[in-house]
Amino acid sequence: MVNDSPRKKVLVFRELPPDQLARLQAQHDVSVANPREPEQLAAFNAALGSAQGMIGASYPINEAVLACAPRLQVISSVSVGVDNYTLSALAARGIVLCYTPGVLTETTADTIFALVMATSRRLVELANHVREGHWSRNIGEELFGWDVHGKTLGLLGFGRIGQAVARRAALGFGMPVLYHSRHPVNLATAAPDLLGKAVHTPFDDLLQRADIVAAVLPLSNETRGLMGPREFGLMKAGAIFINGARGAIVQEAALLQALNQGGLRAAGLDVFATEPLPMGSPLRRHPRVTALPHIGSATFETRHAMAELATTNLLQALAGERPLAVFDTSAGLSPAPLAGQRDGPVTG
Ligand code: NAP
C-alpha cells in the first residue's frame, strides 16, 4: 500500500503496551504524544506535520487534524468503532484506515451481558446495600430483582458483537432474541448455532416486544440520536435499556425522561455522549442507572490483542502490504463528533 522509504515517521497518539511500541521503534521513527493530555497537545501537533503513520484511539481525527498532517498515509485505530474518523476526508486523501475487528468481540459481549445482569438483578445497588451497612435483615420485595433467563432480548445491531451477545442470551439463558439491522443475517451460514433462536425484526416491532433492548451498532449519521422520546416511548413498561455501542446513539434527555416519567425499569450504560461523563450529568447518580466508564473491551488480554493487531496493521501498511484489517472508508458511515463535544469516545 505505502512503500517509498524504509523508516517512516510514526505518531502514537494513545499509549501502546511496551512490547508493541518496541515493534514500531525497531522499524520506524516514533513519536508518542496523547492529545487528550493537555501537556502533550503541542508535541502531538508538532509531530502531525511529518507523520506518515498514526496509531491510537479515543481522539477525533477530523478535517482540521488531517489538514495539519500533509504526509499522512495510514491511520491504525486501536478500536473497532471508527466514529472518531471523518471517513469522507480519509477517502478523499487516500489515507488508509485500519481497525481491530474480532479481537474484542467476546470481551465486549461479556461487558454488555454483565450490564444485562447488573440492571436486572440490581447487583450494584445491592452490593452497595451490603457495603454501606444496610443489610441488617433479610431483604424484602422492595429490593427484589427481575429474572434474566427467559426474557426477550432485542439487539440493535447484529454483527460480530451482537451475535456474541445473542449466544450468551439464547444458548446460556434461554432468551428469545430479536435483532434489528439493515440486512437480515443468513444464520445458516453466519451463525448456525443461533438458527431458530434469533429473529430479524423491524425496529419498532423490536422495541415493542423486547424486555431488554441492547444497542450494539456503530455510530453513524444514520444511528446518531436513534433512541429518542418516540423510541423509548415504544418500549414495554418495565423494560431495560443497555447501551454497549456509542453514547451518541442515545438522546440522553429522552433516556432520563423514560427513566423518570416513562416506564423504563433501568438502564445499563457503558458509553455516553460526552466521555468522561460530566460531573453534573444526572446519569452519574441516577438510582436505576448502572454506568460504566467505557470498559467494553477493557481487559488485559483484549486491550493487548487490540494493540497487537493495530501495530501489525500499521507495520503492514507502512511496508506496502495489505493490512489484516482495513476499514472501507468509502462505505458511507460518516461519523463526526457531536458539536461541542471536546473528546471523542474512548477505545472500543
Ligand atoms: P459489526 O460487526 O460491523 O456490526 C454492526 C452491526 O450493526 C451490524 O449488524 C450492522 O448490520 C448493524 N448496523 C449498522 N448500521 C446500522 C443501522 N444504521 N441501522 C441498523 N443496524 C445497523 O460491528 P461490531 O464489531 O459488532 O461492533 C459494533 C459497534 O460496537 C462498534 O461500531 C462500536 O461502536 C461498538 N463497540 C463498543 C465497545 C465498547 O467499549 N462499549 C467495544 C467495541 C465496539 P447492517 O449493516 O446490516 O445494518
Here the CATH number for the domain that contains residue 81 is 3.40.50.720
Is the pLDDT at 344 greater than 70, yes or no?
Answer: no
pLDDT band at 338 (very low <50, low <70, confident <90, very high): very low
61 Cα–ligand 1 center, Å: 20
Average pLDDT over residues 316-341: 73
Q: Identify whether 243 is part of a domain.
A: yes
Q: Identify whether 346 is part of a domain.
A: no
Give nearest CA residue, ligand 1 atom 23.
Answer: 159
Q: Does 73 share its domain with 126?
A: no
C-alpha cell at 39: 501537556
Q: Does 188 share its domain with 285?
A: yes
Q: Identify whether 78 is part of a domain.
A: yes
Is the pLDDT at 265 greater than 90, yes or no?
Answer: yes
- Beta-bridge mates of residue 153: 177, 212
Is the pLDDT at 253 greater than 50, yes or no?
Answer: yes
Q: Is 125 a catalytic residue?
A: no
How much of the chain exceeds pLDDT 70, in percent?
A: 94
Is the pLDDT at 333 greater than 80, yes or no?
Answer: no
Instruction: Mark 126-163 as b/e (b = at least 16 C-beta within 10 Å).
Output: beeeeeeeeeeeeeeeeeeebebeebbbbbbbbbbbbb
215 Cα–ligand 1 center, Å: 8
Domain count, the chain: 2
The pLDDT of residue 342 is 31
Using the 3D structure, point to which of 291, 318, 342 is the last residue of a domain.
291
Q: Does 155 share its domain with 212?
A: yes
DSSP letter, residue 150: T
Ligand 1 atom nearest 163 alpha carbon: 26
238 Cα–ligand 1 center, Å: 26
Q: Identify whether 254 is part of a domain.
A: yes
Q: Please answer whether residues 66 and 75 qualify as being in contact, where contact means their C-beta atoms are separated by less than 8 angstroms.
A: no
C-alpha cell at 298: 477493557
Residue type, 70: P
Give nearest CA residue, ligand 1 atom 43.
Answer: 348
Q: Which of 180, 275, 303, 308 is catalytic?
A: 275
The pLDDT of residue 207 is 98
Helix axes 105-121, 160-167, angle to 10 degrees: 50
Backbone φ and ψ of 168, nearest 5°:
-60, -45
Q: Does 23 share its domain with 60?
A: yes
| CA–CA gap between residue 99 and residue 194 (Å, rounded) | 27
User: Which helix H or strand E contains 10, and what residues bound it?
Assistant: strand 9-12
Is the pLDDT at 331 greater than 90, yes or no?
Answer: no
Q: What is the pLDDT of residues 37-88, one digit of tens each?
A: 999 999 999 999 999 999 999 999 999 999 999 999 999 999 999 999 999 9
Average pLDDT over residues 13-34: 98
Ligand 1 atom nearest 333 alpha carbon: 15
Q: Which of 246, 265, 303, 308 is catalytic?
A: 246
293 Cα–ligand 1 center, Å: 19
Domain of residue 117 covers 105-291
Is the pLDDT at 21 greater than 70, yes or no?
Answer: yes
Q: Does 98 share its domain with 109?
A: no
Average pLDDT over residues 256-266: 97
C-alpha cell at 145: 430483582
| CA–CA gap between residue 13 and residue 11 (Å, rounded) | 6
The pLDDT of residue 243 is 99
Residues with a CB atom less than 6 Å from ligand 1: 80-81, 101, 104, 108, 157-162, 180-183, 216-219, 222-223, 244-246, 270-271, 294, 296-297, 348
Ligand 1 atom nearest 162 alpha carbon: 26
Q: Which of 122, 294, 303, 308 is catalytic?
A: 294
* DSSP sequence for 75-143: EEESSS--TTB-HHHHHHHT-EEE---STTHHHHHHHHHHHHHHHHHTHHHHHHHHHTT--SS---GGG
Ligand 1 atom nearest 164 alpha carbon: 26
Q: What is the pLDDT of residues 103-123, one digit of tens each?
A: 999 999 999 999 999 999 999
334 Cα–ligand 1 center, Å: 14
The pLDDT of residue 4 is 57
Ligand 1 atom nearest 294 alpha carbon: 40
Q: Does 170 share its domain with 281?
A: yes
Is the pLDDT at 1 greater than 80, yes or no?
Answer: no
The pLDDT of residue 335 is 38
Which of 217, 223, 309 maximizes ligand 1 atoms within 8 Å of its Cβ, making it the mutation to test the pocket? 217
The pLDDT of residue 348 is 63
Q: Identify whether 3 is part of a domain.
A: no
Is the pLDDT at 337 greater than 80, yes or no?
Answer: no
Q: Does 338 or 29 have the greater pLDDT score? A: 29
Q: Is 275 a catalytic residue?
A: yes
The residue assigned the cell 425522561 is 257
244 Cα–ligand 1 center, Å: 10
The pLDDT of residue 345 is 39
Average pLDDT over residues 164-168: 98
Q: Identify whether 336 is part of a domain.
A: no
Q: What is the pLDDT of residues 274-325, one digit of tens each?
A: 999 999 999 999 999 999 999 999 999 999 999 999 999 999 999 999 999 9
Q: Please answer whether residues 155 and 180 qualify as being in contact, where contact means their C-beta atoms are separated by less than 8 angstroms.
A: yes
Q: Does 174 share its domain with 115?
A: yes
Q: What is the average pLDDT score of the chain?
A: 94
| Burial class of residue 94, CB neighbours in 10 A (0-12, 13-18, 19+) | exposed
Average pLDDT over residues 172-192: 98
Residues 6+ apart with CB under 8 A from 317: 1, 2, 53, 73, 74, 76, 96, 98, 323, 326
157 Cα–ligand 1 center, Å: 5
The pLDDT of residue 332 is 58
Q: What is the pLDDT of residues 124-150, one digit of tens each?
A: 999 999 999 999 999 999 999 999 999
pTM for the model stands at: 0.94
